Structure 1
Amino acid sequence: MKQIFDFLRKISGGRLTQKQVDAANTAIATASDTVISDMLGIAVDVMSVSKFGVDLICGFEGKRLVAYDDGVGVWTIGFGTTIYPNGIRVKKGDTCTEAQAKVYMAHDLKKFEQAVNDAVNVPLNQNQFDALVSLTYNIGTGAFKDSTLLKRLNAGDYQAAANQFDVWVKAGGKTMQGLVNRRKVEKELFGKALK
């Protein structure tokens, strides 16, 4: 996305009006990545989580068809969904079917895939991307975008970025064994490309 707006600023003389930004956002939202890439003559590399990555995230999140408190006061349902596709927050007493849980998961994944695609400026292999989306799915897009992990990664220091997975093991200020276990698996997956 950044590449597109950089290109648009360049061809418009350096600045975009709000109207131009809004029009570009609308065009981008309705066009496929291939069309945008072809139109602008730039590479827009957009990655998606692999089936292995989806299964990994589902395994970590577990499937719950009745809303539950995630341990820090956030109501969650399905495979870790906290906000429904319509923008409404999950609340106590909510239920869903397995089919609905899968729809919520697919919707959620797009947001987290996009966050990783937008924030990372260095090449990733599929394992690295899957590990980063799993992390982001768990800690949230804001935390990922502000993380030291992302800063190290975008500086090209993949090993220092991998080591940052170990930082994200607390919930409500307490180290959680489930998060320790999850980060270990994500870190190992991310590190497969380092060998």
Structure 2
Amino acid sequence: MNRKPIFDVVRQLLGRGFRPSDIALLDAAIDRADNDSPVPADLALGEAGRALIRKWEGCARRRSDGRFEAYPDPGSATGEPWTIGWGSTGADIGKGLIWTQAQCDARFDRDIARYVNEVRDAVGDVATTQGQFDALVSFHYNTGAIRKATLTRLHRERRFAEAALEFAKWIYNDGKPLSGLKNRRAEEAALYRA
């Protein structure tokens, strides 16, 4: 869901910009309102998927005071998107933003809930193993491409061996292959096959 129009209206009503606490409250309210989409209730992110995502996202840019600062995407020529905590991005994240560990963890949990729902919706009623689901959530968390990826179509067609091969095609940032993405996709493909 594109939240920008909602945020723009609320910003106009307030007559000021947002504080980080305002953004968290609005995001939570929108998430609660958007959680009525029909998805299989038995699909949830498992520990292997959560560990994989946290391993590759890291909770980076810890400052000497223990808090975390936003940083530009190191693989992007423009630095976009700005990132903080466990790989969180969005219109509310930019240069100068600083969060506590608790804020990083809360945003990760909220973001994961959204990505889990989007993957549930994308796989539909196809029988999906825990490993497949976890790998797809990790892939989507990193790429945002679950709806357009050939791998999703192949999964929905139950062509699982072919779908597993598709992970290796998502290793580029700004047209360049990155070794970190190669390694992450290899781990996702292995989890998908497990």
With the length of structure 2 as denominator, give the TM-score of the two structures.
Answer: 0.72
More helix as a share of residues: 1
The answer for the alignment partner of 2:148 in structure 1 is 146
The DSSP-based 3-state class of the residue aligned with 2:70 is strand
Corresponding position of 1:165 = 167
Q: 1 CA distance for matches of 2:41 and 2:117?
A: 11
Q: Which residue of 2 aligns with 1:127?
A: 131
Instruction: Figure out how many residues of one structure are paired with residues of the other and give that number.
Output: 151
Letter of the 2:46 counterpart: S
What's the CA shift for 1:46?
4.3
CA distance in 2, matches of 1:152, 1:30: 26
Q: Kindly, what percent of the aligned residue pairs are identical?
A: 34
Query: Contact 1:132/1:190 (CA < 8 Å) preserved in 2?
Result: yes
Q: Which amino acid in structure 2 is aligned with residue 139 of structure 1? A: T
Q: Which residue of 111, 114, 131 maps to 1:111?
A: 114
Runs (4 or more) in structure 1 with deviation over 6 Å come to none
Other-structure match for 1:75: 82
Stretches of structure 2 lacking an aligned partner (at least 5 in a row)? 1-31, 61-67
**Which structure has the larger Rg?**
1
Which structure has more relative contact order (CA 8 Å, sep 6+)? It is: 2
| Residue type of the alignment partner of 1:156 | R
RMSD: 2.1
- Aligned residue number for residue 48 of structure 2: 52
In 2, Cα distance between the equivalents of 1:128 and 1:44? 15
